[in-house]
Amino acid sequence: MIKSNNIEVQFGDCRELIKKIPSESVDLVVTSPPYNIGKKYGQYTDKVTLEDWETLINDITKEIHRILKPNGSFFLNLSPIPYGNYKEILPLPFLGYNIMKKNHFYIRNIITWTFNNMQNCTNRLSGRYENIIWGVKDLKNYKFNLDDIRIPYITKNDKRLTGSGRNPTDVWYFDRVNNMVKKKNNLSHPTIYPIDMIERIIKMSSNEGDTIFDPFLGSGTSVIAAAKLKRKGIGFELDDKYEQEIQSRIKNEVKNYEQIKMEL
């Protein structure tokens, strides 16, 4: 376990660990589960039957609905994947949408996250996007801090433009964390969130002092972003081989780290 005054990371099966989280105690959940494409995550086998994968996502989504506060939000990041012997594209975001609806979430946006740095295909168009499904428990009562995530206007010096910037829309561009960046920062996890993107989600759908939760934590991006933005970050990760990596990232990336006392 990694524990500080604003970060808590536990290692084990998120389906069991989440049962210990009190109901309606979390403000925001943001996560990206395994995509079932054979990535080397360590203890987890990222190539199970589609039925088993859907059961995993359904089980954790059901618990997420329980632990979220009435005005809480759930952001689920999924990608279309090549599936089967002939690598037909399987739209995991559609399956995620159905699972979220089955577990009583209302969908506010399906965000398209676009990027450039990825493998090029030779027998179909190269994939350059993933989806982030934003669900809420109550359509009339949820946090949306638009002013905290506004981006610069495209048009300059237009007197009709007011305020501090424009709505970022539901199409976001953030570069993926590539192998060169991982090597530079001594990171080994195969899939790492761009932290700027997670910070946008946290600013948009939570306030300072809120609790942010990620059941598939990986290298720790979600809890690090939460701590940097003065929130409490809670994360679960199946494979404890990433413990040192998460500790290192906390030390290097969270401001005022010297004020955080680690209990290992």
What's the 3-state SS for the chain? CEECCCEEEEECCHHHHHHHCCCCCEEEEEECCCCCCCCECCCCECCCCHHHHHHHHHHHHHHHHHHEEEEEEEEEEECEEEECCCCEEEEHHHHHHHHHHHCCCEEEEEEEEECCCCCCCCCCCCCCEEEEEEEECCCCCCCCCHHHCCECCCCCCCCCCCCCCECCCCEEECCCCCHHHHHHCCCCCCCCCCHHHHHHHHHHHCCCCCEEEECCCCCCHHHHHHHHCCCEEEEEECCHHHHHHHHHHHHHHCCCHHHCCCEC
pLDDT at 59: 98
The reported pTM is 0.91
Q: pLDDT digits over 140-167, tens only?
A: 999 999 999 999 888 777 666 767 889 9
Task: Kindly indicate the confidence band of residue 258, based on its pLDDT and cuts at 50, 70 and 90.
Answer: very low
